[in-house]
Structure 1
Amino acid sequence: MIVKYTMKMTISDEIIVANELAYRLYAMLLSKAAPEFGEYVHQCDITPVSQNLTIDSKGGILWNVSLLNDTAIRELSPVLDEMTQCCLDGGAVFDIVDKKIAKIDSVEELLLAGKDWKRISLTFDTPTAFKSRGQYVNLPTPVAIVHSLINSWNGCIDECPIEDEDGEGEKSIAAGLEFEHFILKDACYRLKKNRIPGFKGSIVIYNRLSGFHSELAGALLHYAAYSGAGIKTTLGMGAVRVDKL
């Protein structure tokens, strides 16, 4: 259902390793897939691939790729399983020195993983932004986060869509999530010739919900570690680390 690859990489070239290199990594990945898959993702309302490039606390370079439905897994897992190098346009070459794979095999597993989550830390490792009424929103709110995650879930997890025609369920979940603590800073993402305003940092969320709404909120926040949050998660934005406190 969902597979996430976390690949530690090294590079010998003297280039600045920035989050924005994720865009070129994604282009390289698509070039190795069947042409039909490229056509498929361009037709999807929600692309079932989330990927980003992050730097860990020790300076290690991590390429994180989440495949969010069975089609993406079928087409890209064989490519990623065999990949030992990433050769980008322009000559930069990354060597993959370690590869970890995490899997979620069912919706039930996802719901169970987020059960009894009351205090949750979200760390945004690459610039993150949302969009509302055609405008960029570069500050997070519970409404923006929940809306983004439900959109991704419904666009990728066909087995169990979240049915909420009037939007009241989404509002109820967002109303029950309280920002207990946050440290945020502005951070832009440069994509081609565009500068997208966003933020990085961390938020501690307290889940005041009960019953199924609480379980669903926990599952959605756990899902964020795979899907990312906000816009352009396929192109490197919105990387999220999720920790239960």
Structure 2
Amino acid sequence: LILNLLPQSPIPLQFLTGRHFHALFLNLVSSVDRELGDYLHEAKADKPFTLSPLQIVRRGAPPCAPTNHNHILQAEHTKPIAAGTPCWWRISLLDDTLFSQLTQLWLNLNPNRPWHLGPADLLITSILGTPQSPQPWANAISYAQLYEQSSDSDRQLDFCFCTPTAFRQKQHDCALPTRDLVFNSLIKRWNQYSGIELPKTILDSIFPSFFNIHTELVTDSRSKFIGCVGAMSFRLLGNVEPLVIKQINALANFALYSGVGRKTTMGMGMVRRLNHQ
């Protein structure tokens, strides 16, 4: 889902962090279903949603215009966002039951009711749930459809890490997106929510073939995180059955919704699969 937002008053810099967007999402959920909001707030394990950082719509540019050819999104802001600045914000829902429970949120949205991000009032001007030509981050599909539509012959997997991406390894973070870290993150979430179990052995034929990545720092009031952004490609090598190719392509296509790595509920780990043609 893409929420198009219009701040009615300036958004101070200290409220433009993942923690505050996380709180705003829980407030939106609680406005429709208080029990669901409390449940999501208290859930300690993997949470069935991801959030983007707030994106400013640049004058004269389409709403999703990337900052460069790699589709990199703005993960941090260096100054407050002025009143009247059009923005967009993405929410992805990984659990089909969660999607249906929140349908009331966008069906009954009051366009005149302000939401609060710190001291700032935000109006939600529209919500997009299907792909639009200037906004490719909106989409909706069932897991069964996503699986069925995935290719059983495409061996090229091109990704863009659009917001800083990092992975937890034991007690520490790792910003280097190895095959195992990227695809284990995807397969874990896929198996948790899809109802279509995939074996981890399918990852054995995946090898990195290209990367153009660098690290970026994400800060909030309590901590700093190092993540990677940029483009990376993987290729399927050797004798791989069409069924396995299909399963791996389904995982690669799933990345658009699930993200990868840590803190995807606070704006990190947003990933797109790119068309290698």
Q: Same fold (TM over 0.5)?
A: yes
The Cα shift of 1:198 comes to: 0.9
Tell me, in whole angstroms, the C-alpha distance in 1 between the residues paired with 2:88 and 2:251: 23
The Cα shift of 1:68 comes to: 0.9
Structure 2 portions without partners, runs of 5+ = 56-63, 68-85, 131-138
Residues 11-160 of structure 1 correspond to what in structure 2 (within 5 A)? 11=7, 13-15=9-11, 21-32=17-28, 33=30, 34-41=33-40, 42-43=42-43, 45-53=45-53, 55=55, 56-57=64-65, 61-83=87-109, 84=111, 86-93=115-122, 95-97=124-126, 99-101=128-130, 102-107=139-144, 109-115=145-151, 116-157=153-194, 159-160=195-196
- Name the counterpart of 2:235: 206
Cα distance change on mapping 1:176 and 1:8 into 2, 3 Å: farther
Tell me, in whole angstroms, the C-alpha distance in 2 between the residues paired with 1:131 and 1:57: 30
Tell me, in whole angstroms, the C-alpha distance in 2 between the residues paired with 1:189 and 1:154: 29
Residues 168-196 of structure 1: CA deviation (Å, up to 9, x unaligned): x1xx41x3222222211111222441111
Structure 1 portions without partners, runs of 5+ = none
- Name the counterpart of 1:194: 223
The Cα shift of 1:92 comes to: 4.8
- Name the counterpart of 2:79: none
**CA RMSD across the alignment:** 2.8
Tell me, in whole angstroms, the C-alpha distance in 2 between the residues paired with 1:217 and 1:29: 31
TM-score scaled by structure 2? 0.73
Query: Does the Cα contact within 8 Å between 1:20 and 1:190 map onto a contact in 2?
Result: no
The Cα shift of 1:19 comes to: 11
The number of aligned residues is 232
The Cα shift of 1:124 comes to: 1.4
Cα distance change on mapping 1:121 and 1:94 into 2, 3 Å: farther
Greater C-alpha radius of gyration: 2
Query: Does the Cα contact within 8 Å between 2:11 and 2:118 map onto a contact in 1?
Result: no
Larger strand fraction of residues: 1
**DSSP 3-state at the match of 2:154:** coil
Tell me, in whole angstroms, the C-alpha distance in 1 between the residues paired with 2:14 and 2:253: 26
